[in-house]
Amino acid sequence: MDSFRDKLIPVTTILAGVVVLWYVFAVILNAPFQRDMDSRANATPGTMEFVGKTLSQPKPTMPAPHQVAVNFFENTFLRPINSNRSLVYNAWVTLSSTLLGFAFGTALGIVIAVGIVHVATLDRSLMPWIIASQTIPILAVAPMIIVVLAAVGITGLVPKAMISTYLSFFPVTVGMVKGLRSPEIMHLDLMHTYNASRAQTFWKLRVPASVPFLFTSMKVAVAASLVGAIVGELPTGAVAGIGAKLLAGAYYSQSIDIWSALVAGSIVAALLVMVVGVAGRLVDRAMGGRPA
């Protein structure tokens, strides 16, 4: 009951406030265009009628929440799933490259982290570059990767997944290096007194100790991976995917479409992070972790 009072009420209150503010802003932002339309049509609507009209424009500057909701519902549940306009289809396109890139990125990140922890040369020479690379706007490379790979004949899933891989392996590497180094000296000494080999220390001490770090960084990585997939869809000329929906919406000023694509992307992101979180908790419990 405590969590209900501590979290749910404030969160819903603030969300409700956001929705109300959204409506207010929708009216304010759409009003100039509506006034323009009315004066051209020589219409003199009353205040309520005017507000109603601002909230039901076909291409509003700021779509009202219910317009987005209706559009989202139509494009999600009413269209056949294999239709080009279905949000489920577009979300699936983005999701598939996100997942592929995320899987590669996580694997690559873990491998590099293991290398860094075990080879002193790599630690001193590669680690500074990995940290420095986080300060670089990597996403700027995305269009080039797509176009260059398309020039070689590689199109479709792989180039987008490569961008996702690129974005998601940094957090995993950094988190895993931290995690694999997290065992205390005491524990390492204990393994030493057991005459454990390097491999045994690795599998029986370092890997279990690193699991919480892995899942924390995987949450960051999966979100980054989705962003990579969405941005990776921008230069392909709007074929399919959430990024393509955004771009097409921007080209044709279909603001409602942009917003509902955004909602779809957010839902996918929230689901992905949630799945990783749940997987983390399950693994934790399977390994014998007790809730603190």
Partner 1 sequence: MNWLKPSWQGVLAIALCVVAVVLGAMSKPEAAALADTAASAAYPYHATKLLMMGLVVVAALVSMIRIAPLIEAGVLFVGAHLTAWLLISGIGGFEGTALAPYYLLLAAAWLLGWRCVAVLSDIRPAHKGSRTALRLVIPAIFGAWILIIWEAVTRGAGIPFILLPPPSAIGARFANSLPILGADVRQTILKAVLFGYIVGSGAGFITAILADRVPFLRRGLLPIGNMVSALPIIGVAPIMVMWFGFDWQSKAAVVIIMTFFPMLVNTVAGLAASGHMERDLMRTYASGYWPTLVKLRLPAAAPFIFNALKINSTLALIGAIVAEFFGTPVVGMGFRISTEVGRMNIDMVWAEIAVAALAGSVFYGVVALVERAVTFWHPSVRGG
Where does this chain bind partner 1 (CB under 8 A)?
A: 6-7, 10-11, 13-15, 29, 61-62, 120-121, 123-126, 128-129, 132, 134-141, 143-144, 147-148, 151-152, 219, 223, 226-227, 230-231, 234-235, 242-243, 246-247, 249-250, 253, 255, 258-259, 261-262, 265-266, 269-270, 273
Smallest distance from the beta carbon of 123 to partner 1, in angstroms?
A: 8
**Cβ closest to partner 1, residue 93 vs residue 261:** 261
- Give the Cα separation of 276 and 283 in Å (integer): 10
Smallest distance from the beta carbon of 270 to partner 1, in angstroms?
A: 7
CA distances for 143 relative to 64, 150, 162, 221, 262, angstroms = 33, 11, 12, 20, 20
Smallest distance from the beta carbon of 253 to partner 1, in angstroms?
A: 7
Q: What letters, b where the CB count within 10 A reaches 16 and e where it falls short, cover 268-284?
A: bbeebbeebeeebeeee
Smallest distance from the beta carbon of 9 to partner 1, in angstroms?
A: 8
**Cβ closest to partner 1, residue 150 vs residue 196:** 150
Q: How many helices (H) and strands (E) does the chain have?
A: 14, 0
**Cβ closest to partner 1, residue 191 vs residue 223:** 223
CB of 138 within 8 A of CB of 167?
Answer: yes
**Cβ closest to partner 1, residue 71 vs residue 205:** 71
Q: What is the CA radius of gyration of the chain?
A: 25
Smallest distance from the beta carbon of 51 to partner 1, in angstroms?
A: 20
**∠ CA 58-240-274, rounded to 5°:** 90
CA distances for 68 relative to 71, 74, 234, 247, 264, angstroms = 5, 10, 22, 17, 11
- Give the Cα separation of 84 and 81 in Å (integer): 8
**Cβ closest to partner 1, residue 205 vs residue 248:** 248
Residue 100, token pair as written in the block: 């592929």
**Cβ closest to partner 1, residue 179 vs residue 232:** 232
Smallest distance from the beta carbon of 125 to partner 1, in angstroms?
A: 4
CA-nearest of 116, 133, 142, 103 to 222 is: 103
**Cβ closest to partner 1, residue 42 vs residue 135:** 135
Kindly give, in sequence order, each residue whose CB lies less than 8 Å from that of residue 62, ignoring residues fewer than 6 positions away: 22, 25, 26, 29, 30, 255
Smallest distance from the beta carbon of 48 to partner 1, in angstroms?
A: 26
